[in-house]
C-alpha cells in the first residue's frame, strides 16, 4: 500500500514500532493514548497490511514544526522508507505554511542528506521541551538538534513574463 496518512486502526502498529526503538533508547516512548490523541500528526508506510514505518509532524508554533517518532522496521531499512516519511512531513509542513522544521536525533548523516543542518538546542523555543521532563535522559539529552528551512527545499518558482 505504501505511504499514507495514519488512521485510527494504525495506532497499535505505530505504538509497537516506536516503542521497539524506545526500548533501545533511540526514540522517546509513546503511550498508546498519546498516539491516538495525535494520530493526525502521523504518516505511516504500510506493506502487506503491516506498518513498517512511521513519522509524525507536530506543529509547535506559527512557523515551527518538529518531525517526531521516525521509525522504520529494522528488516525494511535501506529501502527509502525513512526518506519518504520525512519528505511527506516536509511537504505537509510546506502546505501548512510552516517555515522551519526541526528534529532531535542521533541520525545526523541521514538528516543532513535531506537538507537539515545542526543547530543549538538553545535556539529552540522553551515550549519544545515540554516532553523532555518525562524523558529518562532529562536533563542530560544527548540528541542533536537539526533544522531545515522549508523555502530552501522548495523548487525555484517560475516568474513568467519577467526578464
Burial 127-155 (b: 16+ CB within 10 A, else e): ebeeeeeeeeeeeeeebbbbbbebeebee
Give the whole-angstrom CA distance, residue 50 versus residue 68.
Answer: 20
The runs of H, that is alpha helices, within 9-73 are 11-22, 32-37
Output the pLDDT for position 127.
58
Output the pLDDT for position 26.
87
Element (H, E) at 101: strand 100-105
Q: Which residue, among 9, 18, 130, 12, has the nearest Cα to 85 in the 3D structure?
A: 18
Output the pLDDT for position 105.
92
CB 85 within 8 A of CB 108: no
Output the pLDDT for position 121.
81
Give the whole-angstrom CA distance, residue 18 versus residue 158.
Answer: 41
How remote is the C-alpha of 134 from its chain's centroid?
19
Domains of the chain: 2-153 (3.40.630.30)
Output the pLDDT for position 84.
97
pLDDT tens digits for range 96-109: 999 999 999 989 99
pLDDT less than 50: residues of the chain: 156-163
pTM: 0.87
Burial 58-79 (b: 16+ CB within 10 A, else e): bbbeeebbbbbbbbbbeeeeee
Amino acid at each position: 500500500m505504501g505511504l499514507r496518512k495514519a488512521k485510527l486502526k494504525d495506532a497499535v502498529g505505530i505504538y509497537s514500532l516506536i516503542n521497539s526503538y524506545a526500548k533501545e533508547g533511540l526514540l522517546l516512548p509513546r503511550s498508546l493514548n498519546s498516539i491516538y490523541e495525535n494520530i493526525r500528526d502521523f504518516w505511516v508506510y504500510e506493506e502487506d497490511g503491516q506498518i513498517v514505518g512511521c513519522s509524525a509532524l507536530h506543529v509547535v508554533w506559527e512557523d515551527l514544526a518538529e518531525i517526531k517518532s521516525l521509525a522504520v522496521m529494522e528488516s525494511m531499512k535501506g529501502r527509502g522508507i525513512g526518506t519518504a516519511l520525512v519528505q511527506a512531513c516536509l511537504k505537509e509542513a510546506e502546505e501548512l505554511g510552516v517555515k522551519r522544521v526541526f528534529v532531535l536525533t542521533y541520525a545526523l548523516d541521514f538528516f543532513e542528506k535531506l537538507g537539515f543542518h545542526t543547530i543549538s538546542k538553545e535556539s529552540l523555543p522553551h515550549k519544545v521541551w515540554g516532553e523532555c521532563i518525562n524523558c529518562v535522559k532529562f536533563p542530560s539529552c544527548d540528541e542533536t538538534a537539526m533544522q531545515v528551512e522549508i523555502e530552501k527545499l522548495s523548487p525555484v518558482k517560475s516568474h513568467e513574463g519577467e526578464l
